[in-house]
């Protein structure tokens, strides 16, 4: 999935699933579900592909890749080769030459003949097509009661769309049988980076109190006898977290991206700053592994609002609740915080980026 999300030419992803698999799907794509459109599939692969194409009708892309989820190891190099080969008149099909000797057998399970393997190939996905042509081919197939095609290139052939082949990838295996899972596991172990690019960033922010009737922490409004003083909404928690996330990209701090001297950020929601940092990470192919926020204040009490804070951050960061830690402590009556003159926040973020160190 991540391979498709990171390709610059792919703007929309339709995920076609079984009607019973919504929760499984939501859990699996929690890190990037905002980039996906989920569609329920049909009784056959052919119908599922058609429903996915129908979901693209309003978008009207020039081209569409159709990929089997049973092939989880597609690589960006293959995607790029497909994209650079496709044109408005023909589709592209990745294939592998067949190395085994082919035998034709009869119903009694006896060999009838040996079939020359010259010019025989096994087909892979993703297969890429001009969108309007493959949509028309699928719709014509259903209208003609042709519902036994096993892949989209077969429908394209039947409809008369030329299919150009390119070399596939032997690692792009299809998981069909239980033993295929063992092969997949072995492949994952081999390709796992020895030193994954895991980065940690820290952030700190502090704001003083002024007269008011609420404060905003982690995007949640909390009734209080004061408010925090600052240029934006002064959400110290989100400011610290934003700086922590930016640090994993060496991208400066909030002030670099949203200068306090700029009047457009006056009273702005700090959610804007946080979403900006999240987008920077996503564009670099990063995945947020976890975040940890510590609020330092004598008052107000944070615990009654912690669940709402976590829920709010789940939606922005697109990670699960167990990857978000929000806690509070006092300053034991010491310093300006102990005198109840303001609130401080510390944040730590861990982000996993593609590749190795």
Ligand-binding site membership of 232 (annotated)? yes
Whether 288 contacts 278, CB under 8 Å: yes
Percent of the chain with pLDDT over 90: 80
- In three-state secondary structure terms, 104 is strand
Stretch 149-164: mean pLDDT: 97
Residues 153 and 257 in one domain: no
Find the CATH number of the domain harbouring 298.
3.30.1330.50
Residues 88 and 166 in one domain: yes
- The model's confidence at residue 193, banded by pLDDT at 50, 70 and 90, is low
Whether 278 contacts 244, CB under 8 Å: no
CA dist 16 → 11, 25, 69, 207, 303 (Å): 17, 10, 9, 47, 40
Of 142-156, 175-189, 308-322, the poorest mean pLDDT is in 175-189
How many structural domains are present in the chain?
2
Stretch 132-154: mean pLDDT: 96
Average pLDDT across the chain, whole number: 93
Nearest to 125 by CA among 52, 194, 23: 52
Find the CATH number of the domain harbouring 76.
3.90.550.10
Stretch 85-94: mean pLDDT: 95
Q: Which of 228 and 194 is assigned the larger pLDDT?
A: 228
Ligand-binding site membership of 242 (annotated)? no
Report yes or no on whether pTM surpasses 0.75: no
Ligand-binding site membership of 207 (annotated)? yes
Whether 236 contacts 295, CB under 8 Å: yes
Residues 177 and 207 in one domain: no
Tell me which of 191, 213, 239 is where a domain ends: 191
Residues 213 and 348 in one domain: yes
Q: Does the structure show a pLDDT above 70 at 194?
A: no
Ligand-binding site membership of 113 (annotated)? no
Q: Does the structure show a pLDDT above 80 at 356?
A: no
Tell me which of 142, 161, 191 is where a domain ends: 191
Q: Which of 96 and 261 is assigned the larger pLDDT?
A: 96
Residues 17 and 135 in one domain: yes
Residues 150 and 60 in one domain: yes
Residues 43 and 185 in one domain: yes
- The model's confidence at residue 237, banded by pLDDT at 50, 70 and 90, is very high
Ligand-binding site membership of 331 (annotated)? yes
Q: Does the structure show a pLDDT above 80 at 195?
A: no
Tell me which of 169, 191, 213 is where a domain ends: 191
Residues 139 and 248 in one domain: no
As a whole number of angstroms, the distance between CA 86 and CA 314 comes to: 39
- The model's confidence at residue 196, banded by pLDDT at 50, 70 and 90, is confident
DSSP 8-state symbol, 341? S
Ligand-binding site membership of 182 (annotated)? no
List, for residues 293-315, the tens digit of each pLDDT value. Answer: 999 999 999 999 999 999 999 99
Q: Does the structure show a pLDDT above 90 at 163?
A: yes
Ligand-binding site membership of 239 (annotated)? yes
Maximum distance among all Cα pairs of the chain, rounded to whole angstroms: 92
**Phi then psi for 230, rounded to 5 degrees?**
180, 175
Output the DSSP codes for 31-48.
Answer: TTGGGEEEEE--SSHHHH
Ligand-binding site membership of 205 (annotated)? yes
Q: Does the structure show a pLDDT above 90 at 173?
A: yes
**Phi then psi for 93, rounded to 5 degrees?**
-130, 115
Residue range of the domain that includes 268: 196-356
Residues 14 and 101 in one domain: yes
Ligand-binding site membership of 336 (annotated)? yes
Ligand-binding site membership of 131 (annotated)? no
Residues 178 and 288 in one domain: no
- What is the pLDDT, as a whole number, of residue 34? 57
Residues 306 and 320 in one domain: yes
List, for residues 24-82, the tens digit of each pLDDT value. Answer: 888 778 766 556 899 999 999 999 999 999 999 999 999 999 999 999 999 989 999 99
Residues 164 and 226 in one domain: no
- The model's confidence at residue 231, banded by pLDDT at 50, 70 and 90, is confident
Ligand-binding site membership of 339 (annotated)? yes
- What is the pLDDT, as a whole number, of residue 315? 92
């Amino acid at each position: 999935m991540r391979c498709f999300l990171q390709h610059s030419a792919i703007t929309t992803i339709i995920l076609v699933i079984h009607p019973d698999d919504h929760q499984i799907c939501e859990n699996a794509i929690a890190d990037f579900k905002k980039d996906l459109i989920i569609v329920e599939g049909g009784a056959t692969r052919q119908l599922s592909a058609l429903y996915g194409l129908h979901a693209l009708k309003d978008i009207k892309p020039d081209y569409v890749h159709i990929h089997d989820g049973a092939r989880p190891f597609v690589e960006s190099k293959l995607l790029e080769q497909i994209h650079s080969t496709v044109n408005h008149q023909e589709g592209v099909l990745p294939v592998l030459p067949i190395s085994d000797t082919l035998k034709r057998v009869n119903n009694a399970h006896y060999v009838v003949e040996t079939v020359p393997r010259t010019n025989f190939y096994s087909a892979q996905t993703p297969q890429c097509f001009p969108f309007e042509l493959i949509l028309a081919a699928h719709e014509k197939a259903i209208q003609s009661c042709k519902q036994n095609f096993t892949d989209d290139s077969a429908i394209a052939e039947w409809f008369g769309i030329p299919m150009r082949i390119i070399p596939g990838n032997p690692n792009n295996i299809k998981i069909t049988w239980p033993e295929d899972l063992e092969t997949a596991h072995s492949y994952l172990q081999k390709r796992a980076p020895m030193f994954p690019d895991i980065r940690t960033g820290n952030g700190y922010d502090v704001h003083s109190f002024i007269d008011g009737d609420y404060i905003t922490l982690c995007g949640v409004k909390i009734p209080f006898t004061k408010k925090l003083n600052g240029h934006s909404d002064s959400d110290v928690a989100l400011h610290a977290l934003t700086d922590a996330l930016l640090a994993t990209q060496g991208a400066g701090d909030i002030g670099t991206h949203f200068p306090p001297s700029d009047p457009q950020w006056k009273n702005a929601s700090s959610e804007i700053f946080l979403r900006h940092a999240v987008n920077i990470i996503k564009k670099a192919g990063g995945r947020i592994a976890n975040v940890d926020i510590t609020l330092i204040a004598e008052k107000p009490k944070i615990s009654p609002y912690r669940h709402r804070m976590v829920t709010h951050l789940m939606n922005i960061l697109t990670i699960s609740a167990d990857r978000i830690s929000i806690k509070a402590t006092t300053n034991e009556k010491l310093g300006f915080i102990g005198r109840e003159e303001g609130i401080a926040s510390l944040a730590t973020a861990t982000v996993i980026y593609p590749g190795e160190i």
